[in-house]
Chains A and B, each alone.
Chain A
Amino acid sequence: MVLFIVFVGLLVLRPIYFIIDRSTLNNGFTTAFTDPFIWQAIGTTIVLTVGAVVLALVVGTALAWFSLRLPRGLGWMSALPVMSILMPSVASITGWIFLFSPRVGFANTVLRTLPWWSDQTSGPIDVYTTPWIILCTGLQIAAFVYLFMSSGFTGVNSDLIEAAEVAGSSKLGVFFRVTLPLVRPSLVYATATAILLALGQFTAPLLLGRNSNIQVLTTRIFTYLNSSPVDFNAAAALGVPLVVIGMIIVFGQRALLGNQSRFVTHGGKGFKAVGRPSWSGVVWIGAYALLTAVLPLLAIIIVAVSPRWSADIVPSTFTLEHFTSALNSPEILSSVKNSVLFSLTSILIVIPIGFLCSAILVYGRRFKLCQIILDFVVAMPLGMPALIFGLGFLLAYSGPPINLYGTSSVVIAVYVTLMIPFSVRLQSAAMLSLGKQYIEASQVAGANLWRTMLSVLLPLMRSAFGAAAALIFLLLSHEFAASMLVRAPTTQVMGTTLYDLLEFGSYSAVAVLALIMAAVSLVGLGLAFLLGGRGALKGL
């Protein structure tokens, strides 16, 4: 067991160590922090983080609240905000480009038919500006906030809310004075997650900011790695603040919430919709889904079937030629194959790792110290941007003693590391809800550890495996940031190929690949549910 913990520890901590180590070499810090653009980049990072977090918290919490009071028959709408997570982030940003790009964006074309903007030839929206990057990032993160908050609201005993209403508080007063304090754990967790996601946000700034030279810390790291000569030290130096903030947040979260068991189990009593159903919820949730999923998807589809991307949509010219050429393009095909292969291999590795970690965290009361260390190590990859892990693996494994650069192993290793927290979280939640009685009954019946695991724990965990596999496949087939750093010409995945195509200006191919990405993750999800049974859905 100690060996296993050392292994997981090495996997997670070695890359981080290399970032810190490397940053002190050869004036990494000096290069990085005397650069004339650095303060601007830091400023943008802060503005983007604060803006996106505030937006995400407000939107996510409001949507979660509304989702509980949907009118009868429209309950299915509560699944809509989560749908935007199913869209790969690269794909939905691509969709936004197609919609809001100043000259030929479809939405802009439509808006220009309105009297206020009829005299303009571009705009009124320019997706390549900071406010729109914030909007784009914030709305994407809002989906995660929504997930945490709606499970938080569901756990609130509605009697408490009704009691407050009966006691004469106004609706708004009840929300701020009773409901929000009750969901504090979810709120803290959602806020921490939102901050981490916003700080590490890479996709939107890279894809939207590159035209107008809007830079944040993560994109500058990327720039240093793609300049010639490559400046590893400066890139590492820029990574250090992100590492430090990540550690602070992971520690802080542990301190604020105690151990994760406390808030995994607080669900239970069903939430009764309080008060009358509200139609404004339908409007807001609908608008959110439209903006983050439906419209981008439509735009992508239109670009994919049009001969080329232009401001005008001409249905009569629609064609499937881009699909056929994509299916004959070796680089697209190999990227799809790589993505699937890497994701599946990583799942096969990270699920057992997560299983063992969860077993130690949930049942290993006799090994307190191991639990504390493991708990922290396991939370680490969630605390730091994926890009940081990409960088760390690049530094740690592309030179003696271990040179894996350009091999698929390094991609898989990064993927496995990134997914450890998700794997552990889903499985340990499942173990906690199983309780310890089944395990104890097996032990008392005379079974040793292995038999207990194989005959009792594994079969009972089947649906948790399915859920974990589904979520991980979803996240990995979308993976972009870390892949961008560790990729080599032979290990391109869907996200990185999409970026190259975008750089190259082949918008039709971009659209087709974005659709393929969405399709692949849907197929993966479906398979996981088939294997894991209906229970798998609950884990998400």
Chain B
Amino acid sequence: MSKLEIQGLRKEFAGRRNHVAVNDLTFTVDEGELLVLLGSSGCGKTTTLRMVAGLEQASAGRISIGNKVVCDTTRRVDLSPNRRDVGMVFQSFALWPHMTVRRNIGYPLRARGLKQGFKEGWIDEAARMVDCTELLDRYPGQLSGGQQQRVAVARALVARPSLLLFDEPLSNLDARLRDQLRNEIHQLHQRVGFTGLYVTHDQSEALALGDRLAIMRAGQIEQLGRPREVYENPATEFVAEFIGMGNSISLYKTPSGWASKSGQLVGRVPDVSAETANLRVRQQAIRLGTIDSLAPGEMGVEGGTIADVEYGGASVDVVVKFVDGRSVSSRIPLTGEGEHRFELGSRTTVIFSARDAKLFPTSPAGSAGTGQPAHNDVAPEQKAGVS
């Protein structure tokens, strides 16, 4: 296991317009760490991973695994995949259909000439790790999707490579199996402590598995940090939205303070140097009520109408629509006793703790706004101007 370092990595695809898929990426995965690349479809995650594996040629940049520089465009170094000492789990499993599971798992040992591995029974050990010892003599065609994926993980692990790469390994499986395998990969990482780069577009997978996680957008890293850090302190509005702060309330500045076109704003908003800004709140942080029930440290937006109520078992999702056409969705837990009543069309106020909200300037007041949050928290107490 060794460290992965990536510097200034860039990939352009020649095409009608030269398309930049990965744009100047720089990050490090420490020894024994599992870094998750999270991003929406087409943001360049797979391309990054394939460049690390050597399956795609970098347009610029430098990649080193351990002490070995495997790619450096300025020095024209570009090792082929078989000389990079990595293991990879493909989205489509890619188990060779003409080999038994045992031969599939043993292939990296044969290919790398690791006789020692055969002697010491690495194949069986790898199979045991992913719990597929009984499958060793079957062919991939005789396995279920989950079993195939386990074998694929064993095949990637068996030769004890310096680095393990995962390209959305769970996205071809159904939801229940996905949770189970996610769990197993997590335990495996706890036990073996491999260095890994894991690509996914699934938020919960990323939060659960990553020692750290990197949110990618259009070929660049938007934020890199521990899952909790990213979850609680999204660096940009994009990250906030991606990580679950789906509700956005747009604000603008008046001489007397912040106001919203959605409805009357109650509560204190910090003074940010911007003309307009978006307030981001998680669904779960919102409750519905009347302005009188506002507790200290809370803020609210008046004047919404309940537009939709969706039952979800342990909770209900209520969509509140405002006069400017924006809507806010709130997830309200059903606690059994106090029965919630949400009548379609009735007026309500959206209430949330100021600590749970993040403010992101959308237009600069002079300086170029980069979507950085104004302060860590929206300061409570001060009452905002009423428009």
- A contacts, CB < 8 Å to B: 366, 437-438, 440-448, 451, 455-456, 459-460
Contacts and interface: CB of A to CB of B under 8 A. Distances in A.
Contact of A444 (B87, B92, B97, B98): B87
Nearest to A462: B98
Contact of A440 (B81, B98, B111, B112): B81
Given A445-B159, A447-B82, A455 B92 contact: no
Nearest to A458: B98
Given A366-B57, A440-B81, A445 B98 contact: no
Given A440-B81, A459-B98, 10 more contacts: A441-B96, A442-B111, A444-B53, A444-B82, A444-B86, A444-B88, A446-B111, A446-B112, A447-B111, A451-B110
Tell which of A437, A438, A446 has the most Cβ of chain B within 10 Å. Answer: A446
B55 interface: yes
Q: Which 9 A-B pairs have the closest CB atoms?
A: A447-B111, A443-B81, A445-B108, A441-B94, A446-B112, A437-B94, A446-B111, A444-B88, A459-B98
A460 B111 CA distance: 18
A456 B53 CA distance: 19
Interface in B153-205: 155, 159, 165
B139 interface: no
A193 to B, nearest CB: 30
A438 B94 contact: yes
Bin the interface of chain B by size. Answer: 20 to 34
A440 B85 contact: no
Contacts of A448: 80, 82, 111
Contacts of A442: 96, 107, 111
Tell which of B88, B98, B111, B155 has the most Cβ of chain A within 10 Å. Answer: B111
B242 interface: no
A455 B98 CA distance: 9
B231 interface: no
29 contacts: A437-B90, A438-B94, A438-B96, A440-B53, A440-B81, A440-B90, A441-B90, A443-B55, A443-B81, A444-B54, A444-B55, A444-B81, A444-B86, A444-B88, A444-B165, A445-B82, A445-B87, A445-B112, A445-B155, A446-B83, A447-B107, A447-B111, A448-B80, A448-B82, A448-B111, A455-B107, A459-B98, A460-B97, A460-B98
Interface of B: 53-55, 57, 80-88, 90, 92, 94-98, 107-108, 110-112, 155, 159, 165
Contacts of A459: 98
Tell which of A445, A448, A459 has the most Cβ of chain B within 10 Å. Answer: A445
B82 A446 contact: yes
Nearest to A443: B81
Contacts of A443: 54-55, 80-82
Contacts of A456: 96
Contacts of A444: 53-55, 81-82, 84, 86-88, 165
Contacts of A440: 53, 55, 81, 88, 90, 94
A366 to B, nearest CB: 7
Contacts of A455: 107
Contacts of B86: 444
Contacts of A366: 57
A440 B110 CA distance: 16
B112 to A, nearest CB: 4
Nearest to A445: B108
Contacts of A441: 88, 90, 94-96, 155
A446 B108 contact: yes
A86 B86 CA distance: 51
Contact of A451 (B55, B80, B98, B111): B111
A320 B128 CA distance: 71
Nearest to B87: A444
A153 to B, nearest CB: 30
A438 B152 CA distance: 12
Nearest to B105: A445
A451 B155 CA distance: 17
A356 B278 CA distance: 59
B49 to A, nearest CB: 11
Nearest to A451: B111
A535 to B, nearest CB: 12
B116 to A, nearest CB: 14
A445 B165 CA distance: 12
A185 to B, nearest CB: 20
B193 to A, nearest CB: 21
Nearest to B84: A444
